[in-house]
Amino acid sequence: MAPLATFFALLPLFKLIHAATVSYDGRPTDLTWGPCADGRTEGVECATAQVPLDWLDLSKGTITLSVIRLPAKTSPREGYMFYNFGGPAVSGVTTVEMTGANLQAQLGAGYDIVSWDVRGVGGSGPTLKLFTGDDDYIAFWNRLQGHGTIADRGNLTQRADVDFFMSQVPAFDNLTSSLGDMMLAKNGDTLKYVGTCATVRDLVYLVDTMYGKGADVNYFGTSYGTVLGTYLTQMFPNRVGKVILDGVFDPYKHSNLPPIAWIDTDSQTLDVAMKMWAEACAAYPESCPTASLKANATSADILNIVNKMLDTAYRNYDGFAWNIVSSITIPNPVVASHWSWEYLAQQVTFFAYGGEAWDWVDIPQFVNAQNNNTHSTIIPRSNPVFHRAMRPSYSNYVPTDFLDHVSIAIYCGDTVDPKGETTKDLFKGLVRASQSHSTLAAALMGTYQRLHCHRWKARAVERLPGDPITPFSSSKRLASAEFFGNKARLVKFKALGHGTSSFPSRCIDNVVQKFIRGQPPKDAKNDEADVVCTVDSTPYGPPPATWNKP
């Protein structure tokens, strides 16, 4: 997760499996714009568009896509930018409602900010269903909670802990197999039509509809959105306008390797990110609550406090079953022994997501409760299960995206067919990551859609095996001579977090503003960063000097 990079890609250098020659016979028609459904955000407009369910077989009928824009504030308009915020099931409509003004401020008032809900998400079809509500969801996932389950694990550095973890392979294999079976039983062939290739075609059609047939596709993708952007450059090379990919997934691995083969990628720089957070915390003890737990605490002291807290949770866990609902509704006070290593380790990893997440986790609350063998008097603020773009609809607490598992359907639908990979292989990979990259690696299990792909029962009708939460190495590979070469620019952001929005940076903003106006950074003519940007400020204060060391 640190350091991060943004790269700017202009043209592809990949071979294609499907030339993007299929066109929709329905002439692009003007969208009818009006107020968005909740009417909460001033200035934004919403519309719907009809696209084929199957771009390769137009006889399958059409689906509806929900689209949103924040129109330019100047006339004539200077430009436009389409956004995908990752997930892969984050709602573009909701995110623009909440952050569109900030996005427009970065590009300039003359730019339209446009996004849409990708297939299966929010107001866009086709509809996918899995769990009917909170109780159904919790009953399924609580199979992994309590004593004698995977939640009983620690950091996988001790032989006994590893042996216990590996003993849970059959239980997890049963769960992930039944997940795939349930999804297929409830949705059937619909699962084949939410893949990334179809979404790229949807994007190009939306550009044709809004800005004219054949107009440049200007696109800004974050996290999974970088996969979508890379596919765009392969499938429609002649349509690529200004493409910005931020927090890059390695597209080669995504499209060509079984997910188990690269399960350790997300944890490669997790310890670096945690160290950077601890450095900022130690530098500004008056702003960082964790630093208050020891006088004159160094960054090493702060990390030791965190590790001791996690070790205590591992030893004292009483088997309480944590889930989305219990983490919100459990009455005060919370018994300290309820916190498993898994639960607190997941909270700790949020520090690596950037400054916005730093107030989600109250370490002193946990530590003081453990030290005093008492209860916590405050419900943890630290479970951000309600991502800003994931809101409940047909449940009381669980977000719709979680109930439907659209992210897993999209992600696994894109991947290569399984070739004998097993859940035992998956668990061995998590152990290796925990022992070679970060002792927090296994805490990321709850965020990995690809944990389930080797047992997933459906694949997208169109996939793209070209030669195509995201360390800098993925960005570097994509902007290298092997891939885009001098057609791309690589920007290294010396920060932790998930995308360059994790901290303010005038340098990043300037690079973006110049690039979209036809002034890319100077090519360094090697596979290193063309530009290096730094953080302007953190929630605790200015970035520590250690962040800016070469």
For the chain, 550 residues long, give each residue's pLDDT as a single digit of tens. 343 444 443 333 333 334 444 455 555 567 999 999 877 788 999 999 999 999 999 999 999 999 999 999 999 999 999 999 988 889 999 999 999 999 999 999 999 999 999 999 999 999 999 998 888 988 998 898 899 999 999 999 999 999 999 999 999 999 999 999 999 999 999 999 999 999 999 999 999 999 999 999 999 999 889 999 988 988 898 899 999 999 877 777 877 888 888 787 778 888 999 999 999 999 999 999 999 999 999 999 999 999 999 999 999 999 988 876 666 666 556 788 988 999 899 889 888 888 888 888 889 989 988 887 665 544 443 333 333 333 445 555 666 767 788 999 999 999 888 889 999 999 999 999 999 999 998 887 766 778 899 999 899 999 876 433 334 444 445 555 555 656 778 888 888 887 888 899 999 999 999 999 999 888 888 778 889 999 999 999 999 999 988 7
Crossing angle of the two packed helices 506-516 and 92-107, in degrees rounded to 10: 90
Query: 113-130 burial, b if ≥16 CB within 10 A, otherwise e?
Result: bbbbbbbbbbbbbbebbb
Q: What is the pLDDT of residue 37?
A: 84
45: which strand partners? Answer: 69
Pure H helices in 264-405: 270-283, 299-316, 326-329, 341-349, 363-371, 400-404
Q: Going along 201-246, which residue ranges are E strands?
A: 217-222, 240-246
Q: What is the pLDDT of residue 347?
A: 87
**Considering the entire predicted model, what is its pTM?**
0.89
C-alpha separations of 380 from 189, 387, 469 in Å = 41, 16, 23
Reduce the DSSP state of residue 141 to 3 states and report it. Answer: helix
Q: Give the closest residue to 402 by CA, choosing from 449, 443, 345, 361.
A: 449
534: tokens are 């730094």
C-alpha separations of 529 from 6, 289, 423, 494 in Å = 10, 35, 37, 11
Which one-letter DSSP state was computed for residue 506? H
Q: What is the pLDDT of residue 384?
A: 33
Q: What is the pLDDT of residue 55?
A: 95
* Block residue for tokens 């409602």: 97
Indicate the length of the chain as a whole number. Answer: 550
H/E stretch holding 436 reads helix 423-436
- Residues contacting residue 365 through CB under 8 Å, at least 6 positions apart: 376, 378, 380
Q: What is the pLDDT of residue 3?
A: 37
| Structural domains of the chain ordered from first start | 33-126+192-254 (3.40.50.1820), 134-186+259-455 (no CATH)
H/E stretch holding 509 reads helix 506-516
For residues 22 and 103, what is the distance between their CA atoms, to the nearest angstrom? 32
Pure H helices in 335-405: 341-349, 363-371, 400-404
Q: Give the closest residue to 516 by CA, choosing from 480, 544, 489.
A: 489
* Block residue for tokens 């890059």: 248
Q: What is the pLDDT of residue 385?
A: 32
Q: What is the pLDDT of residue 464?
A: 78
Q: What is the pLDDT of residue 27?
A: 53
Q: What is the pLDDT of residue 386?
A: 32
For residues 81 and 78, what is the distance between their CA atoms, to the nearest angstrom? 11
For the chain, the 3-state helix, strand and coil shares in percent, each to the nearest 5, are 45, 10, 45
* Block residue for tokens 């949705």: 187
245: which strand partners? Answer: 7, 221
Residue 47 sits at φ, ψ, to 5 deg, of -155, 175
Return the CA Rg of the chain: 23
